[in-house]
Structure 1
């Protein structure tokens, strides 16, 4: 029986229903680690981008836009002309 404290929610067994909301804890350790890693990387990119924009001004924004357009073009090209895999393309 849960008393509604944070400690009880953390130590609840995976898959056990919650007392009030009817929600279950379904994420395992690996997906939680990947979500945390993505959060750390995203925060680092945000801080790094802010520092770059502050020190260089609008040139950094132009640089980010240029890089984004190039990555999008590369992704589009890879979808149109996929690299062969074991003698077959990804579309066959």
Structure 2
């Protein structure tokens, strides 16, 4: 099962690298990677008979990361009209 979740993590990273032109696709692949990491942490904590308190902290931080990414996406679409990274320039 750990190999399966590690494959999900690697697939999320590869899709993050390959879909670097659009911010929405980058955010979706980043969330996929975070979910794979969450499952890996849950399996590790379950195997070692630890408490699951750290998983709740990790889940709340990943929610904050997702909300921050979506707010940047909304701001970018309002200012530039699309989510294409190549049209974004911070020099103006």
TM-score of Structure 1 vs Structure 2, range by shorter chain: 0.3 to 0.5
The structure carrying a bigger helix percent of its residues is 2
Q: More relative contact order in 1 or in 2 (CA 8 Å, sep 6+)?
A: 2
TM-score (norm 2): 0.35
TM-score (norm 1): 0.35
